[in-house]
Amino acid sequence: MKAKSLAIVDVLLIEPTVYGDDRGFFFESFNQAQFKAVVGRDVSFVQDNHSKSARGVLRGLHYQIKQPQGKLVRVVEGEVFDVAVDLRKGSPTFGKWVGEILSADNKRQLWIPAGFAHGFLVLSETAQFLYKTTDFYSPENERAIIWNDPTLSIHWPLDTMPILSGKDAVAPALRDAEVFNGSLDS
C-alpha cells in the first residue's frame, strides 16, 4: 500500500498494491498493520457502511459534532468525486477542502480523520461507495454544511444541479455551522 498526504496533510490518498492477471485481480482493501504504518497510529473501526447512488447524486457535506467519525472510503462500482473539508477550529487548514476521484477502476481510498466534513458526487451512471468509520452513526449529532457554500468554493465537477436529499438542500453555510472545539482522537 502506498499513501500520500494531500493539500491537507492529515487526509491521505491510499493506493493498494493490486495483483492482476487474465483471471482478474486481488488486493487487500484493509490491513491494520499497514494502515497503522501510513497513518502513524492505531485506528479502530467500529462500523462499515455501503451506499449506492445514481449519476448526479451529491451526498454531503456531513459530519458529527459529537462522536466524530474518521472514515476510510472507497468505491467498488463506478466513480465519484470525494471531498473532505477541515472543520477543526484552530487548524491551519480550517475551512479548506481537498477532493479526489475515487473509482472501482483506480481502487484508491481516502483516509479522512475525525474533524472533517465529508461528501461525494457520483460521476458514473451509478456508484457503490463503502466506508469504515471510527465511531458509530449518531443521528442526533449529525450535521451538514451546504455543498455550494461560497466560502468553501469547492470545485465540484458538475454541469447541472446535483440531486440532493431534503436535509442536504437546506444545510447551513460554514459560517452558521457548529464545528469542532474539543479533542478529536479518531
What domains are there in the chain, each with its CATH number? 2-176 (2.60.120.10)
Q: What pLDDT is stored for residue 182 in this prediction?
A: 54
pLDDT over 90, % of the chain? 89
pLDDT digits (tens, 9 = 90+) for 149-167: 999 999 999 999 999 999 9
Please list, in sequence order, all residues whose beta carbon lies within 8 angstroms of the beta carbon of residue 18, skipping any fewer than 6 positions away: 25, 26, 27, 107
Indicate which residue of 62, 63, 118, 155 is catalytic. 62
- Would you call 131 a catalytic residue per the annotation? yes
When pLDDT is averaged across residues 142-146 and rounded to a whole number, the result is 97
Who's near 106: CB < 8 A, 6+ residues apart? Answer: 15
In this prediction, residue 179 carries a pLDDT of 84
What pLDDT does residue 186 have?
47
Share the mean pLDDT of the chain. 94
User: Of 19, 131, 137, 155, which is the active-site residue?
Assistant: 131
pLDDT at 183 over 90: no
CA 12/CA 6 separation, integer angstroms: 6
Bigger pLDDT: 182 vs 69: 69
